[in-house]
Chains A and B, each alone.
Chain A
């Protein structure tokens, strides 16, 4: 129980986000109206994805250093959970876009960048699936994973800032100051980000533990 304190924080923060996210007053903005509350749910998905994919990158580098297969397991499972939150981010963003911009999808640098990033990471799994030999698979996948994270930064952080975009936080604005994030919203948004990231990490650790158990069983049988 002692080492599980962060899981309790994850539940508490996300629960707080759900309750406060609906009740705490938000600034009245044209077009957005109440949908501004999506900020507490849609944006943390991307924060979670960036975090968990960074974990994946970190362990891929570690694998190339030490060639320990454990690092490969961790990197794969992290990328897997990253795809889950990334997909949720894309879907929620699409719904939000429909009711504010009027279309499920617009050819926008940020949106297309996010979609391309997802495809790059899907290719990571295709690559893994195409190599049978364990050490070889782990090494090639680790190298590809480093490229994938670099491309993620390019497609999500750099290119959208270099062109105008419907999506807030782009066209030269590094933050989301378009939203006029007031102190009320910050009070909900920051715990939301922490809570969702911790929840994602929790799901990821469960996946890693299951995978390790599976391998152990294979080894023992």
Chain B
């Protein structure tokens, strides 16, 4: 009788741990839809454009300061 109890307790514990394990492995939601539709590239292009704009602005500033430095020598 005790061994049957032990066995069933063990079985229940196994099942419980299996279910928690399954929960851990459950699919983590990612932006797969956005990637499948291909529209993530729109965001990438927009971000890249903004950054290229800022970088260009920095280059222009850099040149302006260089010019001023030459004039003030």
Q: Give A residues with C-beta under 8 Å from B.
A: 4, 7, 11, 14-15, 18-19, 22-23, 28-30, 33-34, 202-203, 206, 209-210, 213, 216-217, 220
Given contacts A14-B55, A22-B47, 6 further A-B contacts (CB under 8 A): A7-B58, A15-B48, A28-B30, A34-B30, A213-B65, A217-B72
Chain A to chain B contacts (Cβ below 8 Å), 23 pairs: A4-B62, A7-B59, A7-B62, A14-B51, A14-B55, A15-B51, A18-B44, A18-B51, A22-B43, A22-B47, A23-B44, A33-B28, A33-B30, A34-B30, A34-B31, A202-B58, A206-B58, A206-B65, A210-B65, A213-B65, A213-B72, A216-B72, A220-B72
A22, B52: Cβ atoms closer than 8 Å: no
Report the bound CA distance from A8 to B16 in whole Å.
57
Q: How far is the CB of A95 from chain B (nearest CB, A)?
A: 16
Interface size of B in residues (CB-CB distance below 8 Å): 22
Residues A33 and B29 in contact in the complex (CB < 8 Å), given A23-B44, A206-B61, A210-B65: yes
Interface on chain A toward B: helix, strand, loop, or mixed SS?
A: helix
Q: Give B residues with C-beta under 8 Å from A.
A: 27-31, 40-41, 43-44, 47-48, 51-52, 55, 58-59, 61-62, 65, 68-69, 72
- Cross-interface CB contact of B44 among A19, A34, A216, cutoff 8 Å: A19
A10's closest neighbor in chain B, by CB? B55
Residues A206 and B62 in contact in the complex (CB < 8 Å), given A33-B28, A33-B29, A213-B69: yes
B58's closest neighbor in chain A, by CB? A202
A28, B28: Cβ atoms closer than 8 Å: yes
B29's closest neighbor in chain A, by CB? A33
B47, A18: Cβ atoms closer than 8 Å: yes
Q: Please, which residues of chain A bring their CB within 8 A of the CB of B31? A: 33-34
Report the bound CA distance from A34 to B35 in whole Å.
11
Q: How far is the CB of B7 from chain A (nearest CB, A)?
A: 34
A36's closest neighbor in chain B, by CB? B30
Q: Please, which residues of chain B bring their CB within 8 A of the CB of A206? A: 58, 61-62, 65
Report the bound CA distance from A209 to B61 in whole Å.
11
Q: Please, which residues of chain B bring their CB within 8 A of the CB of A29? A: 28
B44's closest neighbor in chain A, by CB? A22
Q: How far is the CB of B71 from chain A (nearest CB, A)?
A: 9
A23, B51: Cβ atoms closer than 8 Å: no
A23, B58: Cβ atoms closer than 8 Å: no
Q: How far is the CB of B30 from chain A (nearest CB, A)?
A: 5
Q: Please, which residues of chain B bring their CB within 8 A of the CB of A33? A: 28-31
